[in-house]
Amino acid sequence: MILALDDGLSVYCSVNRNFVSIKLSFSQCTYMTATTAVEELMAYIADLDRDICREPLCLDLDEMAGEDYWMRKLAKLRSDMEELDGLELLQHDLVWGYKGFFPKSTTELYRGIEQKAREVAGLLDQVLQKTSEKHLSFYDMFYRDQRAQYNDEKAVADFKNWLRSSGIPSLDKFKTFRAEEIIRFLKGGTLECASEPSVEEWEKVNVERFKRQVPLSCQEEEWFRKCFDRLFVIFNRTVSWEGDILVPNYACAGLFIFQHWDQLTEKDIQAIFYLDKTLELIHQEMVMILSNGKSDNTASVEDRIRRCIALLMAERLGDEPLFNQQNHWQAVYRILVDKGYCSDSDFDGFDAFIRRVMPEKVNKPYSKGSLKQISQTDFVRPFNEWKYDVLTSKTRKPYDRMVAVARRFLEILEENGL
């Protein structure tokens, strides 16, 4: 109804006919439309207060929440009403009222319209403030509500067809299939309305690692060479990675849909939920493979991690070992937790694990006490969320050294298939 009010005023501004009946009829319709818009906005705000949002408003709230916007829209109607010089409606055999409003003159009728327009602006400002202050959980709920309306039968059927034709399941096959589905989604253009990624975002996303899962035939396409990196960085705003497992972030996905609702087509929304369901099915299969293989491969995995730590100890930075502080074990802990080999904040469990996999020779002795100090540092967050903060990291050099140790250990693990 807000769009109807806005569009109606725009059309009126282009009408040049000078019939009093047209002006009066339009004024009556405008008052009724504005009144309904006020009622709908009040109901919308009441829903927001209960953390309910069935559909975002497809409006430029930054502009339309200002009274000046509506006063400009009403300029012609105001001028026309003033020309009628407070004409009494009874002179035109017009006895009209709507929901308790019974204007006697054109002046009263216009003042009623203007008052409703100011109410619309005020309510839109409330919507703007409330949505900007909402916790991410609100957008998580919004995403789930929207997805619940989506029919995922096609995604399930397509996945089953792929399973039947792919042969013996393996992690590598699922990774490749996942990469192909993500590329197909990115090529669809759904994310083109997103804001451009910052340098910091580029640095956080390991694009090259993901490309190793992409078939060469895809990488040879012109679109892939020109567009993939940027869109993949944008895509990573709505997911996180736990080792090889992709974890969707419904709060960020919901925020993206909410912010760009007026730019996204129904096809775009369907593409988002189709990919979500497909990734969910892939995730289930990958977790099952990892779970089934855990007991059989525990020894070999631990042997490979032991070798990776030994390789890390051999890394050099200039003329000294890269790993040269006891607290660098925090980097080993953080990466092993991020990769899913250890549990976050389970220092006793990590202690038992690291003592099993620790190579014979290390540059600095391991200490659980030193490791637990990570909970008072920025390194307690996942590695891809590390950010230098002068207030907590104090000096840059130790921070950069810890980042270098963690990044190289991550690379070594991946180079060894972990």
Average pLDDT over residues 343-365: 87
Question: Is the C-alpha dihedral spanning 194, 195, 200, 202 positive or negative?
Answer: positive
Q: What is the mean pLDDT of residues 219-232?
A: 93
Cβ proximity of 182 and 275 under 8 Å: yes
Region of poorest pLDDT, from 38-52, 161-175, 285-299 = 285-299
- pLDDT, average across residues 306-333: 90
* Global pTM value: 0.57
Beta bridge partners of 240: 247
Confidence check: pLDDT of 127 > 90: no
Average pLDDT (96-125) is 86
SS3 readout for the chain: CHHHHHHHHHHHHCCCCCCHHHHHHHHHHHHHHHHHHHHHHHHHHHHHHCCCCCCCCCCCHHHHCCHHHHHHHCHHHHHHHHHCCCCEHHHHCCCCCECCECCCEHHHHHHHHHHHHHHHHHHHHHHHHHHHHCCHHHHHHHHHHHHHCCCCHHHHHHHHHHHHHCCCCCHHHHHHHHHHHHHHHHHCCHHHHCCCCCHHHHHHCCHHHHHCCCCHHHHCCHHHHHHHHHHHHHHHHHEEEECCEEEECHHHHHHHHHHCCCCCCHHHHHHHHHHHHHHHHHHHHHHHHHHHHHHHHHHHHHHHHHHHHHHHHHCEECCEECCCCHHHHHHHHHHHHHCCCCCCCCHHHHHHHHHHHCCCCCCCCCCHHHHHHHHHCHHHCCHHHCCCCHHHHCCHHHHHHHHHHHHHHHHHHHHCCC
pLDDT of residue 330: 92
Cα–Cα distance for residue pair 282/381, rounded to 1 Å: 26
Asked if residues 248 and 279 have their Cβ atoms less than 8 Å apart, the reply is: yes
| Confidence band of 94 (pLDDT split at 50, 70, 90) | low
pLDDT band at 299 (very low <50, low <70, confident <90, very high): very low
Q: CA 105 to CA 88: how far, in whole Å? A: 4
Average pLDDT over residues 65-81: 86
Mean pLDDT of 203-221: 89
Asked if pLDDT for residue 89 goes beyond 60, the answer is: yes
CB-based contact 326:348 (threshold 8 Å): no
Does 9 score more than 90 pLDDT? no
Percent residues over pLDDT 70 in the chain: 92
| Mean pLDDT across 267-273 | 96
Average pLDDT score, the chain = 85
Identify the band that residue 297 occupies on the pLDDT scale cut at 50, 70 and 90: very low
Q: Is the pLDDT of residue 295 over 50?
A: no
Assign 91 a pLDDT band (cuts: 50, 70, 90): low
Q: Identify whether the C-beta of residue 363 lies closer than 8 Å to the C-beta of residue 404.
A: no
Task: Tell me what pLDDT residue 296 has.
Answer: 42
Quick one: average pLDDT of 94-98?
Answer: 70
Predicted confidence (pLDDT) at residue 84 exceeds the cutoff of 80:
no
Percent of the chain with pLDDT strictly greater than 90? 33
Q: What is the mean predicted confidence (pLDDT) over 98-112?
A: 84
Q: How large is the average pLDDT for residues 362-381?
A: 88
pLDDT of residue 108: 86
User: What are the tens digits of pLDDT across the range 173-203?
Assistant: 999 999 999 999 999 999 999 999 999 999 9
pLDDT at 37 over 70: yes
**Mean pLDDT of the region 71-87:** 82
> Does 33 score more than 60 pLDDT?
yes
Query: Which are the contacts of 327, defined by CB distance < 8 A and separation ≥ 6?
Result: 370, 373, 402
